[in-house]
Amino acid sequence: MACIAIAPANQNLCSTVRAPRLLPTLFVIGSLKAGSTSLWANLVDHTNGRITPGYLTHKGDVSRKEKDFFGDPSMWRLGRRWYEAIWPRCTKDDHKVAVDATPAYHVWYDAPKNMATFFGPKLPQLKLVWMMREPVSKFWSYFWELKQYGGEFQRMSFSQFLAPKLARAHACLEKDPNSPLWPPSLPPPFESCAPHLDHGLYHPQLVRWLQFFHPSQLLIISFAGFISQPSEVFHDVLIHAGLPRTEAKGAVERLQQAPATAHRKKMENSRAKGHGRMAAKSRAQLHEFYAPFIERLYGLLNDKHISVSPCREMGTRFLDPPENYSASVPWRDNANARPFGQVRWKTSATQFSLGSESAHSE
């Protein structure tokens, strides 16, 4: 566990209003479709109440986990009092840690700035967790999530969904090959250059977060590592949140002993399972699109010495596509944990080693 910086003993952040509230110090800021529901459920289910999710808002069930406040401008407008009121009251000897797990935060350009405004000099006390998944399978997962919402996405095939977005992004890259393509609000001609695709552009997003947060406040989680070593990742997150080692150990034991219930399965939160796999051509196009951004991200993580959990994936190419890649099936081995310098991205359809295409492709 030596690669995870040990957080100072947990300090509560109580708001200054007359009936002070226990404000969150732990934030899961990303990524959409990268296991955040599962991690969040482990945090609130297996820490004996030590990690607390706060109250429901008008957004219903999902708001136990996701408060949305610092990202979505319509939520930010609700104001400080509104946010404070959705957390439990502070008690004298309260050792709880409140968690706001909003995986869309990393996509909102103003989220880190809003946090800085809200927390002021206490900002350095916050701990951020960012789960990162190889962006092509993440994009596929998000497509099936969008289909749940009905509307225009309901009738769309994956290639109909993808083609105009890629065309738009490539047009922007032709104008400037170094365009970050994010945020969507870049000035013309780079406005909305990569709709939906921009969720996987971790590099420019991380640059933005580092304008407000010290690298040691961040813990990146490898999605592949989360699946293969859930206990180790859980332990790292608890230590990052400031829990003492003895408590973290107890929580990990409870997680390991927990039965595989329907609740746990539900918390995996899959919409993509049962929908086959992405067509080889789309997959190759997406890999080609994301490859340079992922290279830049590896460079930034290494330059800033940002912790990655599980430890064995630190300094590795943990976001590369695995061999025998299938977008619909998360991999469970350690194929990705290769040293950072070793380039593995392959960018044309013919270079992929592909199994036979699923009958349900798209």
Ligand X SMILES: Nc1ncnc2c1ncn2[C@@H]1O[C@H](COP(=O)(O)OS(=O)(=O)O)[C@@H](OP(=O)(O)O)[C@H]1O
For ligand X, the closer of residues 159 and 270 by Cβ is: 270
> What is the contact surface with ligand X in residues (CB under 6 A)?
32-38, 103, 141, 144-145, 227, 268-273, 330
The b-or-e profile of 277-292 (16+ CB within 10 A means b, else e) is bbbbebbbbbbbbbbe
For ligand X, the closer of residues 4 and 104 by Cβ is: 104
Enumerate long-range contacts of 248-253, CB under 8 Å, 24 or more apart. Answer: 250/48, 251/46, 251/47, 251/48, 251/50
For ligand X, the closer of residues 15 and 37 by Cβ is: 37
Please check if 141 is assigned to a binding site. Answer: yes
Please check if 296 is assigned to a binding site. Answer: no
Q: What are phi and psi for residue 281, nearest 5 degrees?
A: -65, -45
Cα Rg, the chain, nearest whole Å: 20
CA dist 204 and 200 (Å) reads 10
The beta strand positions in the chain, using DSSP E, are: 24-30, 51-52, 97-101, 127-132, 218-222, 307-309
Minimum distance of ligand X from residue 101's CB (angstroms): 8
The DSSP 8-state label assigned to residue 60 in this structure reads: B
User: Per the residue annotation, which of 33, 65, 67, 138 is the catalytic one?
Assistant: 33
Minimum distance of ligand X from residue 164's CB (angstroms): 22
DSSP 248-303: HHHHHHHHHHS---HHHHHHH--SSTTS----HHHHHHHHHHHHHHHHHHHHHHHH
For ligand X, the closer of residues 22 and 39 by Cβ is: 39
Pair type for strands 51-52 and 24-30: unpaired
Q: How far is CA 291 from CA 23, 36, 172, 175, 252, in A?
A: 38, 24, 16, 19, 35
For ligand X, the closer of residues 33 and 208 by Cβ is: 33
Instruction: For residue 33, indicate whether it is catalytic.
Output: yes
Q: How far is CA 85 from CA 16, 23, 65, 171, 281, in A?
A: 12, 9, 15, 46, 49
CA dist 159 and 210 (Å) reads 35
Minimum distance of ligand X from residue 140's CB (angstroms): 7
For ligand X, the closer of residues 13 and 201 by Cβ is: 201
Minimum distance of ligand X from residue 329's CB (angstroms): 8
Binding residues for 3'-phosphoadenylyl sulfate: 133, 141
Active site residues: 33
